[in-house]
Structure 1
Amino acid sequence: MQRVERNPQDFGRVLSSMCTRPHPAARDAAERFLATNPGDPGTYETVASLERRAVDLLGGVVGLPDVAGYVASGGTEANIQAVRIARNRFETDTRTPNVVVPQHAHFSFWKAADVLGVELRTAPLSDYTANLEAVKEQIDEDTVAVVGVAGSTEYGRVDDIPALADLADDVGALCHVDAAWGGFVLPFTSFDWNFASADIDTMTIDPHKLGQAAVPAGGLLARGPELLDELAIDTPYLESTSQVTLTGTRSGAGVASAVAAMEALWPDGYREQYYESQADAEWLTAKLRARGFDVVPPVLPIVAADMPDRLMDTLRDRGWRLSRTGRDEARVVLMPHVDRAMLREFVDDIDEVFAEFDIGR
């Protein structure tokens, strides 16, 4: 029988993950609420109250004090649910609903389209963000939602969210923003991306990414509870009468850890971490450029660099957990566990590989 490892893989050389070590308070809270079920709020009243607290805290992050929502399993569930809200809200108006997304939208939207039976229309990008004219061309009277990305998973880019919200409003569609990764750094930038700066309807934001909660702890937020009502089904054998979540039973670990992390870190801790991570992204960019690599400028703390296959393979052999973008660049996500010391070690390994092998830069 295989024994469960006492210590799972550490984060010492993990460069491309969008998850990180939970904050100590989040880890402790997750352990204490592991066996509770916020999917049955009538029975598990304490964790249900914590979930309301989590949503309130997320409302402060995204600029909407009276936000509605719940703690989901992650960005995929939240994005599927946002598409489901849009489809259900307009189901009497169209038999052929479509959702328009920019080309860099997360792959979960393709899952949503498949599961929900809606047409997914993709619009090309311009300088790594949604091309507004291309989005407009894809929209018609059967469009139920227009999606914007606030912190893309490959390059950390932010679409023109107010403009996309206006395009959605022009045809009476909903506007959904996927800020799963970017939501905990964007409050400290000058981008217009949230409920306070654009007429958006729903948003995905994940505490288990840069929010430093334990996995799983995603977030689906809505401008008002009437949008969540589009998801409600009857729950006849529970003390509560209906349920809006996609999953039924959910561990309270994610809920409790999200509250603990945000209470410990919002806003000053997140602000400090963003400034440190962005500085590290710019430091790594300069080091890679000095070694002859083409690097996509880091708008948020993600660095993408064009590296030869042999170098990537050798770095992986040395234990670096490094993924590629769709255009085959090496992708480094400056999560809280990726500090300057780790990056120096990474650059040193690059230099050693160049010295050891005849690899073109």
Structure 2
Amino acid sequence: MQRPEPEPQSFDRVLSSMCTEPHSDARAAAERFLAANPGDPATYETVAALEERAVERLATLAEHPIPSDAAGYVTSGGTEANVQAVRSARNRHDGGRDDRGVNVVAPESAHFSFTKAAELLDVELRTVPVDDDYRADTDAVAAAVDDATALVVGVAGTTEYGRVDPIPELAAIAAEAGARFHVDAAWGGFVLPFTDHDWSFADAAVDTLTIDPHKFGQAPVPAGGLLAREDAALDALAVNTPYLESRSQATLTGTRSGAGVAGAVAAMDALWPDGYREAADRAADHADWLAAELADRGYDVVDPELPLVAAAVPESEFAALRDAGWKISRTGTGELRVVCMPHVTRSTLRAFLDDLDRIRG
């Protein structure tokens, strides 16, 4: 018996994901470059040139002082970029590559990829508390750093509450400790340019930065991004590759997705800046509207800063919404978490609230 071809899952009821439907230009570009491998740029020259364009466009979003000179590459996602930022900082710390007695200081709101990085790279991860508004507590960060701190991490768009840490203050703490400073803007990076937040290379002494086109950038998966202020950050990652046409490689993976690179460039060409500004404004409006509607129903709601809504919804109601087909998730302390990505419309949110009202009776 022949099985039917599986169809991709619809985004219609997906409210928990930080990925979204790719732009049509990005989808077409990805298909054209399915077989290209930017892991060997000397062999695959066309996609290598596209990756240079991708890095320059990402650097423009992140306000690198000279976008055409920015270092970086298109990663598989934010996890790889964060692991590489830790690896680079460890390798550049005072003892160099042979020094493994180093630590990384990050707020407890940091993405779980930093836990993976610490385990993989044999560094100590020191997580510090957040303040009452879910942002990194600068006093706690300052108390945690020492001479062995290789990296301080700030988050610009936390995955649970959409908060932006005090990036300039954290950068100053890192500089005082002689550490590198990394900003994880994997999700927030395509929204923050249209806000008044301080988060970018222009706002602080940022050494490395994660920013993912396959999130709010509307590129196909996989298309993450790692940016660095200077070449030395990537030089610290390079290993010899004697059998390739390219004689060294700074990336974490060898073979990489040409589709992701081409799709990221196509999405940014199509949407920067006006398309992204419009998407960010719509998402912010949706988040504010949903937060107000939930508050009107008596739920405790965390005031949205970026387009992410968290609210204290009882477990029985949360489970019933899941049973109704809604793809929703919870924060670490149990709140309902809704991410207003570009595919999330006002009609979708109304349908979600209709189901919630029915469940509440």
TM-score tier by shorter-chain length is over 0.9
Structure 1 residue identity aligned to 2:257: S
What displacement does 1:5 show? Answer: 3.5
SS in 2 for 1:125: coil
SS in 2 for 1:122: strand
Q: TM-score, normalised by structure 2?
A: 0.97
Structure 1 partner of 2:75: 72
What displacement does 1:3 show? Answer: 4.0
**Contact 2:33 / 2:262 at 8 angstroms: preserved in 1?**
yes
Structure 2 residue identity aligned to 1:246: L
Structure 2 partner of 1:43: 43
Mean alpha-carbon deviation: is it higher for 90-99 or for 293-302?
90-99
Q: Structure 1 residue aligned with 2:104, among 94, 99, 114?
A: 99
Matched, 1:33 2:33: yes
Structure 1 partner of 2:116: 111
1:8-27 aligned within 5 A: 8-27=8-27
Q: Deviations over 1:34-69 (max 9, x none)?
A: 111000111110000000000000011000123110
1:1-361 aligned within 5 A: 3=3, 5-64=5-64, 65=67, 66-90=69-93, 92=95, 94-126=99-131, 127-355=133-361
Mean alpha-carbon deviation: is it higher for 5-14 or for 264-273?
5-14
Q: TM-score, normalised by structure 1?
A: 0.97
Report runs of 4+ in structure 1 exceeding 6 Å deviation.
none
What displacement does 1:243 show? Answer: 0.3
Structure 1 residue identity aligned to 2:32: R
Structure 1 residue identity aligned to 2:85: A
Q: CA RMSD in A?
A: 1.1
SS in 1 for 2:88: helix
C-alpha distance in structure 2 between counterparts of 1:272 and 1:89, whole Å: 40
C-alpha distance in structure 1 between counterparts of 2:73 and 2:257, whole Å: 13
Structure 2 residue identity aligned to 1:122: T
What displacement does 1:171 show? Answer: 1.6
C-alpha distance in structure 1 between counterparts of 2:289 and 2:82, whole Å: 33
C-alpha distance in structure 1 between counterparts of 2:40 and 2:70, whole Å: 21
C-alpha distance in structure 2 between counterparts of 1:2 and 1:317, whole Å: 30
C-alpha distance in structure 1 between counterparts of 2:33 and 2:4, whole Å: 22
Unpaired runs of at least 5, structure 1:
356-361
**Are residues 91 and 170 of structure 1, via their aligned partners in 2, closer, same or farther at CA, if it must alter by over 3 Å?**
closer
Structure 1 residue identity aligned to 2:223: A
Structure 1 residue identity aligned to 2:56: D
Structure 2 residue identity aligned to 1:83: V
SS in 1 for 2:236: helix
Structure 2 residue identity aligned to 1:102: P
C-alpha distance in structure 2 between counterparts of 1:134 and 1:322, whole Å: 32
Structure 2 partner of 1:359: none
Identity percentage over the alignment? 65
